[in-house]
Amino acid sequence: MMNDMKQIKHHLTEPLLIGYAAGTLPEAFNLVVATHISMCDTCRAALAEYEAVGGEVMLDADPVDVAEDALAATLAMIDGGHLAERPKPIRTQNSVFPGPLQDYISGDFDSLKWRKVGGGVSQLVLNTSKDASVRLLRIPAGTAVPDHGHQGTELTLVLQGAFTDEEDRFGAGDVEVANEDLHHTPVAEEGVDCICLAATDAPLLFNGIVPRIAQKFIGI
């Protein structure tokens, strides 16, 4: 899954890029954004612009006096050498999961603990802050996810395979941003299973035709 940008047709929206640049998105959304950017240079460049805007907004803010001994205290901190730094993620070659996502799953693809949610679809909920949720979805080739609407925002990033819904076709690297306006039935393409990273900040609204499946989705 190399960064062939020409194949990516559906990108992050401006509000999501600003939110990521500003550090105001829920963790679950940050994970989708960071994963998409790992696959997409168009959005990588766009993010750099929004970060530049952030830098200028910061420069323009009225300065607030720091403590009198702030510089000395900072130099002491530097001399003490105890400021932990996190390593940047590095992708394992040929994985379906870009670096930022690998930090959230333990083990390799074959050891993942998928949970069936009905209709052949399986999911794996990832552990993030509670203001939104994110999960991996595995939709067998040719299968449909139950028809549903949305209350908040739902981001769906395709990692492998492809799905088609009322909007368009979404292939590897594409991200669909759905909100209240969209009611859809995503169907995985024939061939390989479709694996998506899906985040939402509100429960999905199912039509009630398949309530048992719907309940499991909603119960997350």
24's contact among Zn ion, other proteins, none, with CB below 5 to 8 A by partner kind, is other proteins
Question: With CB under 8 A, what is the number of residues at the site for other proteins?
Answer: 70
Q: Is 174 in the site for Zn ion (CB under 5 A)?
A: no
Residues forming a β-bridge with 183: 149
* Cα 60 off chain centre by: 31
Q: Which tokens in the block code for residue 117?
A: 């949610």
Cβ 85 to Zn ion, closest distance in Å? 28
Evaluate whether 196 touches 159 at the Cβ level (below 8 Å): yes
Q: Is 71 in the site for other proteins (CB under 8 A)?
A: yes
Per CB under 5 A, the segment of 63-71, 114-122, 132-140, 171-179 that binds Zn ion is: 171-179
Give the number of other Cβ atoms within 10 Å of residue 155's Cβ.
27
Q: Which tokens in the block code for residue 129?
A: 């802050």
Cβ 187 to other proteins, closest distance in Å? 27
Q: Contacting other proteins (CB under 8 A), which of 7, 78, 191, 220?
A: 78
Residue number, 40 or 199, with CB nearest to Zn ion: 40
Is the dihedral angle over the CA atoms 202, 207, 210, 215 positive or is it negative?
A: positive
Q: Is 70 in the site for other proteins (CB under 8 A)?
A: yes
Burial of 77 (0-12, 13-18, 19+ CB in 10 A): exposed
Cβ 109 to Zn ion, closest distance in Å? 24
Evaluate whether 143 touches 117 at the Cβ level (below 8 Å): no
Give the residues lining the site for Zn ion (CB under 5 A): 11, 40, 42-43, 154, 178
